[in-house]
Chains A and B, each alone.
Chain A
Amino acid sequence: MTDLYQSQRAMRRMRKAAMDRRLIAILDVGSTKIACLVLRLEGPELGAPEDGLGRMAGQATFRVIGAASTRSRGVRFGEIDAMQEAERAIRTAVQAAQKMAGQRVDHVIACFSGGRPRSYGLAGEVPLSEGTVSEADIARALAACDVPDIGQGREVLHAQPVNFALDHRSGLSDPRGQIGNRLSVDMHLLSVEASAIQNLLYCIQRCDLELAGLASSPYVAGIASLVEDEQELGAACIDMGGGATGISIFMKKHMIYADAVRLGGDHVTLDIAKGLQVSQAQAERIKTRHGGVIATGVDDRELIECGGDSGDWDRDRRRVSRAELIGIMRPRVEEILEEVRARLDAAEFEHLPSRAIVLTGGASQIPGLDGLVARILGQHVRLGRPLRVRGLPQSATGPDYAAAVGLCLFAAHPQDEWWDFDIPAERYAGRSLRKALKWFRDNW
């Protein structure tokens, strides 16, 4: 656990350095596109007051000054598959965003959806030595959590305290300064495969950038597209990307569960390409222009031109009806949603007070998808778009930029994680001087 502390704290330091330089880049490594935004942080003195989030829910503290996206290469299922290709794609996006911003960025916060994220709920409890809860007590409580066996070759990506309880009172968001005897904490821990992180880290280092933070893409998509009430009352955000579909469940403004299904819009495109015997590019075009999931009578009469692009223009011309296209797309979309359903069931989503479902991501733009989702997942379905962020170009306001926008919010207002609290003194061997000082303070 100590190296985790070290690496995450190193990232936090990097993020602090970026905050001081007022410039940070956001990198959304997806399977379809790689998006890079350059943020100029405007600091707390502009707009936001001391306490609370301030103007526009804290979004006034930064401004997007550069935005670029490029077609993703070498990324599959939200993981880096071919390093050189992925590195080139990241380079393209970063260079274009830097060019638009007119400034060089050195620090980058990245998110990815792959790496088989897995959620764990942790609980820890400590007796309080003094009457009131201090930050050191919280750190001790966090340290007292039993860490489950997350498996070989996996790393912790997020470890966020989601709930504090003091004696019999539960649901505290900030117990500091309160009086009690026992402090217990619930923590949500998200682990991903270490190789996915390492590959991404390597690619980013090859681009001469410093990694100042890592986030899971379902989490940041949820931050961007769930409104405050949904985050408070319980909602699931389903981020339908190209290679993977991320699921994150929010409750009381904390993420309590995240997962990803390794299926996405690219699979729908592949199905179309195979079913209609067309190239992938053409299948993508047909999907975006004519796609749908609910067939009606008029769709039988709407014919779509599709040639094999084989050079034989006279013979290789076919027409398919839209109903046929829907017949290809719908089973795959249903399969994705069934998978999502299974994950939500595993997370006991049906026990939440408000079971709102918000769809974002590029694949959520299929017409009629909300109707299909309502049949499979539940009644409260909404198509979510990310919040408007200052300076974001119009082309980057669609649902496919939910993760990028969420990462901006994450960069401006990161949630407290485990490693933001000091390590308790008894667990930390290197600080004997501090221990001695503490002993003096306690005994004299």
Chain B
Amino acid sequence: MQPLMLSPALRAVDPQPQRPRDPAPSRLSYRMHRLWLTPLYRALLRVGLPAFALAFVGGLWLVDEGRRSGLVERLTELRRDLEERPEFMVTLLTVEGASVELAAQIRAALAVELPASSFALDLEALRQKVAAMSGVAQAEVLIRPGGILALRVTERVPAIVWRGPEGLWLLDREGHRVAPIASRLDRPDLGLVAGAGAEAAVPEALALYAAAEPVAPRLRGLVRMGERRWDVVLDRGQRILLPERGAVAALERVMALALAEDMLARDVIVIDMRNQARPTLRLAPAALEELRRMRGQPAGATSG
């Protein structure tokens, strides 16, 4: 029988012959191996421990105030260096699709200091600023390669002149302001609207202008009455009072009468179309007098 309880001291005195190595793992190594094969422990040791060590070392290094500020400084410097590389610099502002005056206005309004880094430019804010300008319908801002800040602008087209409380303005088809003008004579090709609330009904005014094409040379302008309906003002003080609804049709009716019976050439002051069922004419006093005379009625008598 092999010695079971041989103490190490005895073994040192009487060394045993070299026995083959025991292939069995010791209890400790067996347990360590099993622990190592435990998934949670393994994940903890392989990921958690290095991560913790890194965080700990980093934290130790950052404890010092000077190092921390130095790190921040270096980072900002690095960032600035990167931003100010010539590849990212914007040197030129181009404006496309705008007239010379509008382009000048846009440049003045934007007031971008060039050259600037493309990181420093807030394109969306620029775009909103341009789009908010009167006279600009749409705006696109982009940075083209080569350091070009390109503005692509769709200009508003003036369609009508508005005599408002702040003077004369050009309005586009939707009634947005385009530009102020000094004098009506600057744009004699466009129609004129006036009255409170006129700028809010520009599309209808344009339709009325189109319908009044036959009397265009005599047309002075349109007046918005009570912010709800239009008056057409012709020369010689003639007025056509249009209803609130169906104004274009009423005007077309008047135009048909004017063409057929030459009504507007007569001495009529007001053509009242407000009540569709009962159009009313108001004659000039002299013409009324003449009519009565022709009918053989005494002057001053009234009828109907």
Interface residues of A (CB under 8 A from B): 70, 88-89, 91-92, 94-95, 98-99, 102-104, 206-208
| Cβ 8 A contact of A207, one of B30, B37, B38 | B30
27 A–B pairs (Cβ distance < 8 Å), ordered by A:
A70-B23, A88-B24, A91-B24, A91-B25, A91-B30, A92-B23, A92-B24, A92-B25, A94-B30, A95-B25, A95-B30, A95-B34, A98-B33, A98-B34, A98-B37, A99-B33, A102-B37, A103-B37, A103-B39, A104-B34, A104-B37, A104-B38, A104-B39, A207-B30, A208-B30, A208-B31, A208-B34
Residues in B with CB closer than 8 Å to A99 are 33
Instruction: Check B27 for interface membership: any CB of A closer than 8 A.
Output: yes
Instruction: Check B22 for interface membership: any CB of A closer than 8 A.
Output: yes
Interface centre among B22, B30, B39, by most chain A C-beta atoms within 10 angstroms, is B30
Chain B residue nearest to A71 in the complex (CB): B23
> Top 3 A-B pairs ranked by shortest CB distance?
A88-B24, A104-B37, A92-B24
Taking the nearest CB of chain B, how far is it from the CB of A296, in angstroms? 39
* C-alpha spacing A161/B184, complex, angstroms: 115
Residues in B with CB closer than 8 Å to A94 are 30
* C-alpha spacing A206/B26, complex, angstroms: 12
Residues in A with CB closer than 8 Å to B34 are 95, 98, 104, 208
Residues in B with CB closer than 8 Å to A95 are 25, 30, 33-34
| Cβ 8 A contact of A91, one of B27, B37, B39 | B27
* C-alpha spacing A229/B237, complex, angstroms: 122
* C-alpha spacing A99/B29, complex, angstroms: 13
Residues in B with CB closer than 8 Å to A88 are 22, 24
Chain A residue nearest to B22 in the complex (CB): A88
* C-alpha spacing A92/B50, complex, angstroms: 31
Residues in B with CB closer than 8 Å to A104 are 34, 37-39
- 8 Å CB interface, B18-71 against A: 22-25, 27, 30-31, 33-34, 37-39
* C-alpha spacing A206/B34, complex, angstroms: 13
A interface SS class: helix
* C-alpha spacing A208/B22, complex, angstroms: 20
* C-alpha spacing A243/B242, complex, angstroms: 122
Chain A residue nearest to B33 in the complex (CB): A95
Chain B residue nearest to A102 in the complex (CB): B37
* C-alpha spacing A18/B304, complex, angstroms: 111
Taking the nearest CB of chain B, how far is it from the CB of A69, in angstroms? 12
* C-alpha spacing A208/B32, complex, angstroms: 12
Chain A residue nearest to B24 in the complex (CB): A88
Structural contact, B37 and A89, CB atoms closer than 8 A: no
Taking the nearest CB of chain B, how far is it from the CB of A240, in angstroms? 26
Taking the nearest CB of chain A, how far is it from the CB of B22, in angstroms? 7
* C-alpha spacing A104/B24, complex, angstroms: 18
* C-alpha spacing A207/B37, complex, angstroms: 15
Residues in A with CB closer than 8 Å to B38 are 104
* C-alpha spacing A89/B25, complex, angstroms: 9
Residues in A with CB closer than 8 Å to B30 are 91, 94-95, 207-208
* C-alpha spacing A102/B24, complex, angstroms: 19
Chain B residue nearest to A104 in the complex (CB): B37
Sample of 18 further A-B pairs with CB below 8 A, known A89-B24, A91-B24, A91-B30: A70-B24, A88-B22, A91-B25, A92-B23, A92-B24, A94-B30, A95-B33, A98-B33, A98-B34, A102-B37, A104-B34, A104-B38, A104-B39, A206-B27, A207-B30, A208-B30, A208-B31, A208-B34
* C-alpha spacing A402/B30, complex, angstroms: 27
* C-alpha spacing A52/B34, complex, angstroms: 37
Taking the nearest CB of chain B, how far is it from the CB of A71, in angstroms? 8
Residues in A with CB closer than 8 Å to B24 are 70, 88-89, 91-92
Interface centre among B24, B27, B34, by most chain A C-beta atoms within 10 angstroms, is B24
Residues in A with CB closer than 8 Å to B23 are 70, 92
Chain B residue nearest to A101 in the complex (CB): B37
Interface centre among A89, A91, A94, A102, by most chain B C-beta atoms within 10 angstroms, is A91
* C-alpha spacing A99/B23, complex, angstroms: 15
Residues in B with CB closer than 8 Å to A89 are 24
Chain A residue nearest to B29 in the complex (CB): A95
Chain B residue nearest to A73 in the complex (CB): B24
Chain A residue nearest to B41 in the complex (CB): A104
* C-alpha spacing A34/B23, complex, angstroms: 14
* C-alpha spacing A99/B25, complex, angstroms: 12
* C-alpha spacing A241/B303, complex, angstroms: 141
Residues in B with CB closer than 8 Å to A207 are 30
* C-alpha spacing A104/B22, complex, angstroms: 23
* C-alpha spacing A207/B26, complex, angstroms: 11
Interface centre among A94, A104, A206, A208, by most chain B C-beta atoms within 10 angstroms, is A104
Residues in A with CB closer than 8 Å to B25 are 91-92, 95
* C-alpha spacing A99/B37, complex, angstroms: 8
* C-alpha spacing A94/B30, complex, angstroms: 9
* C-alpha spacing A207/B38, complex, angstroms: 15
- 8 Å CB interface, B202-242 against A: none
Chain A residue nearest to B25 in the complex (CB): A95
Chain B residue nearest to A88 in the complex (CB): B24
* C-alpha spacing A88/B29, complex, angstroms: 12
Taking the nearest CB of chain B, how far is it from the CB of A103, in angstroms? 6
Taking the nearest CB of chain B, how far is it from the CB of A139, in angstroms? 39
Residues in B with CB closer than 8 Å to A70 are 23-24
Taking the nearest CB of chain B, how far is it from the CB of A359, in angstroms? 31
Q: Per-position contact with A for B1-31: 1 when CB-CB < 8 Å, else 0? A: 0000000000000000000001111010011
* C-alpha spacing A103/B31, complex, angstroms: 13
Residues in B with CB closer than 8 Å to A103 are 37, 39
Chain B residue nearest to A99 in the complex (CB): B33
Taking the nearest CB of chain A, how far is it from the CB of B257, in angstroms? 90
Residues in B with CB closer than 8 Å to A92 are 23-25
Taking the nearest CB of chain A, how far is it from the CB of B26, in angstroms? 9
Residues in A with CB closer than 8 Å to B33 are 95, 98-99
* C-alpha spacing A95/B29, complex, angstroms: 10
Taking the nearest CB of chain B, how far is it from the CB of A229, in angstroms? 42
Taking the nearest CB of chain B, how far is it from the CB of A43, in angstroms? 19
Chain B residue nearest to A85 in the complex (CB): B24
* C-alpha spacing A95/B30, complex, angstroms: 7
Taking the nearest CB of chain A, how far is it from the CB of B60, in angstroms? 35
* C-alpha spacing A104/B42, complex, angstroms: 11
* C-alpha spacing A102/B28, complex, angstroms: 19
Taking the nearest CB of chain A, how far is it from the CB of B42, in angstroms? 9
Chain A residue nearest to B34 in the complex (CB): A104
Taking the nearest CB of chain B, how far is it from the CB of A89, in angstroms? 7
Chain B residue nearest to A98 in the complex (CB): B37
Residues in B with CB closer than 8 Å to A208 are 30-31, 34
* C-alpha spacing A88/B30, complex, angstroms: 10
